[in-house]
Amino acid sequence: MSTSLQELASLDRVIHEPARLMIVTVLYAVSEADFIYLQNECGLTQGNLSSHLARLEEERYVLVQKTFKGKYPLTICSLTTKGRKSFEEYARIMRAATQGPARGKS
Amino acid sequence: VADIDFAVVDAESRARNYWFSDGLDLLLLSVFIALAGCFGLIRPLPLWKSLAILGLISVAGYLLAAKRSPMLGWLKSRITYPRSGYASIELPKLKREDWRRYPEAFVVFFSAAVFDMNPAPWIGLIALAAGLGFLWGRFGFSFLIPGIAMSGVLVAASSRAHGSSMAWLFIALAILYFIKGTRQLLRYLRQHPAPQA
């Protein structure tokens, strides 16, 4: 078994869950986003998004802040440094597994 | 999952497009350009007065149309964020582009002011070149370029050319931006109805 394949076993299971992977990908691309934007981008229900954000917050991957833009209340979410590094590591492992030497030669 | 990099790039590009999807920046920019056009219609002024007015227009431009302007933020917090949410697009690439655009905008309006006071064809051509650069950098409105180029050359070549020709060109541009911005805003409002209280 190749090393890159074995590395798949060490994938971060918090990020690996599809809904959470979507959330983390969006937050990785923007510096911060609010609840409605994440809901629209990921196509999740309010309850679903809340529970996944809570899980990510629990792992300290995501920082959730309640604030205001003018009079409009915002729940702003952003990736923490730990979350950013974990996502980068996750992406590296997936890249290595899917673009291994056999595919790289083509 | 091999396309994880593509997913990140796609999310970045969606966030960038999202910022401009409501057309508010275009509407505010049209007000800014119309202000500059109106300045051109004022008969020749002493240099210090022209520069003072130009300074005021530049401040108005920042307050109205810049990406991080307080006015744009205020409008978005009432129209866009409650409907479709908020996402920050503080990407280094966009920041660099922004810094490149401000001097271009300044050159356009400064050239227009000078043209208004001293109508020489070559100054009109400088204003035209700067204006094209600004438009290209700001929006990539390639369909406007031939029309503006032709108008600019006519203004510059005409022996009777004076500041008001350039001012009308600015006002025409402002109307185009206004129409495009309004259409974009209406489309956005249709796609994102106001949330239920």
Q: Given this model, what pLDDT does residue B66 score?
A: 64
Choice between B161 and B188, residue whose per-residue pLDDT is larger: B188
- pLDDT band with cut points at 50, 70 and 90 for residue B161: very low
B25 neighbors B138 (Cβ within 8 angstroms)? no
> What percent of chain B is modeled with pLDDT above 70?
44
pLDDT at B197 over 70: no
Question: If you average pLDDT over residues A69-94, what whole number do you get?
Answer: 87
Q: Cβ neighbours of residue A49 under 8 Å, at least 6 residues apart?
A: A19, A23, A35, A38, A39, A42
* Least CB–CB distance from B86: residue in A26, A74, A95: A74
Q: Are B174 and B112 in contact (CB under 8 A)?
A: no
Provide the mean pLDDT of chain B: 70
A92: left (phi over 0), alpha (psi -120 to 50) or beta: alpha
B104, HSE (Cβ side, Cα atoms, 13 Å): 16
CA distances from residue A3 to A8, A59, A96, B108, B171 in whole angstroms, order as listed: 9, 27, 9, 59, 65
CA distance A77 to A60: 12
CB contact under 8 A, A72 and B7: no
- Taking the CB of residue A48, how many other CB atoms lie within 10 A of it? 13
Question: Which chain A residue has the Cα nearest residue B15?
Answer: A30
pLDDT band at B40 (very low <50, low <70, confident <90, very high): low
Q: What is the pLDDT of residues B52-63, one digit of tens each?
A: 666 677 677 766
Find, among B187, B186, B181, B197, the residue nearest to B26 by Cα.
Answer: B181
pLDDT at B94: 47
pLDDT of residue B91: 47
A35-49, A84-98, B71-85, range with greatest mean pLDDT: A35-49
- Residue A89 token pair: 């590591």
Tell if the CB–CB gap between A72 and B78 is shorter than 8 Å: yes
Return the amino acid letter for B119: P
Q: Is the pLDDT of residue B111 over 80?
A: no
**Can you give the C-alpha Rg of chain A in angstroms?**
16
Facing residue for B8 by CB, picked from A28, A31, A33: A28
Statement: residue B121 has pLDDT above 60: no
Nearest chain B CA: its distance from A58 CA (Å) = 22
Of B5, B77, B91, the CB nearest to A69: B77
Q: How many CA atoms lie within 13 A of B66 on its CB side?
A: 19
Vertex B178 angle, CA B39 and B33, to 5°: 20
The shortest CB-CB distance from B8 to any of A29, A40, A69 is to A29
SS3 B66: coil
Contacts of A56 (CB under 8 A, 6+ apart): A14, A20, A23, A24, A62, A83
Chain A hits for B18, Cβ within 8 Å: 37
Is any Cβ of chain B less than 8 angstroms from the Cβ of A71?
yes
Inter-helix orientation angle B163-191/B92-117, to 10°: 150
Chain A residues within an 8 Å CB radius of B7: 25
Nearest to A36 by CA among B141, B45, B149, B84: B84
In this prediction, residues B141-163 reach a mean pLDDT of 54
* Mean pLDDT of the region B77-83: 89
Cβ separation of A37 and B14 shorter than 8 Å? no
Q: Does A54 touch chain B (CB under 8 A)?
A: no
Question: For chain A, first and last CA: distance in Å?
Answer: 21
Report whether pLDDT(B108) > 60: no
Report the candidate in B20, B40, B67, B18 with the shortest Cα–Cα distance to residue B174.
B40
Task: Give the tens place of pLDDT for each residue, A10-67.
Answer: 888 899 999 999 999 999 988 889 999 999 999 999 999 999 999 999 999 999 998 8
Residue B185's CB: how many other CB atoms inside 10 A? Answer: 19
- C-alpha distances out from residue B103 to B46, B97, B100, B130, B165, Å: 23, 11, 6, 10, 23
pLDDT of A72 > 60? The answer is yes
Is residue B28 predicted with pLDDT exceeding 90?
no
As beta bridge partners, residue A33 has A77, B87
Residue A70 to residue B74, Cβ atoms within 8 A: yes
